[in-house]
Amino acid sequence: MSRIAILGVGKVGTAIARAALTAGHDVTLAGSGDPAPVQFIVDVMAPGAGVATATEAVRDAEVVILAIPLPKLETLSPELLAGHIVIDAMNHWAPTDGALPAVFAETADTSSVVAAHLSGSRVVKALNHIGYHEMEDDARPAGAPDRRGLAAVSDDPDAAQQAAELVASLGFDVIASTPLSLGARLEPGSEIFAGSFSGAEIRDRLAADRLAVA
């Protein structure tokens, strides 16, 4: 069991929370301010999860998952998240998010900007390339022939492996890989984002992409 803090109480954050609770993890969700208005959402969408301020949620967490709108990155405190494994589950959705802040201009992958902002954290790109509705529908027990593959990529191999083990506990075959710039291959518009693959297929695609970015 891991202690997980999820920042963000929208569809993605609450879907991850439900999956993590089912897997037996200790989950606390936090919104952007006072936790009181969040309590009702969590009671309905992720019953069993705790609710706290971001500071309280992160304090004792082993892993922090970012499930907030990507343009809100600059509202996150680097000091608050320093020392933590941080899973970046964010994507940019222009119709709802609008334009990205200038800090993202001309970047190949958004996670590199996330890592630069959270320079004291061990950032891993994961859980962004599966739909929130698929988080429960596609989960399978270990060894199932139709178990879906996902990826966890980071510049920190140990952080990537720990994140992969966490996501695997939710019901997926997860391939840990480096570097973090491979996150571009997991974002909207990519083959992996658009499709559903086995763990072996994810491994093959990441291996080919790693050569491309080397």
What H or E segment, with its residue span, contains residue 205?
A: helix 199-213
8 A C-beta contact, residue 127 and residue 150: yes
| Of the candidates 178, 47, 62, 82, the residue with the CA atom closest to the CA atom of residue 125 | 178
| Of the candidates 33, 212, 1, 4, the residue with the CA atom closest to the CA atom of residue 127 | 4
DSSP state of 34: -
The domains of the chain, with CATH numbers, are: 3-213 (3.40.50.720)
195 Cβ neighbours under 8 A, 6+ residues apart: none
8 A C-beta contact, residue 147 and residue 199: yes
pLDDT tens-digit series, residues 82-119: 999 999 999 988 777 777 766 676 666 889 889 999 99
pLDDT tens-digit series, residues 128-186: 999 999 999 999 999 999 999 999 999 999 999 999 999 999 999 999 999 999 999 99
What pTM does this model have? Answer: 0.94
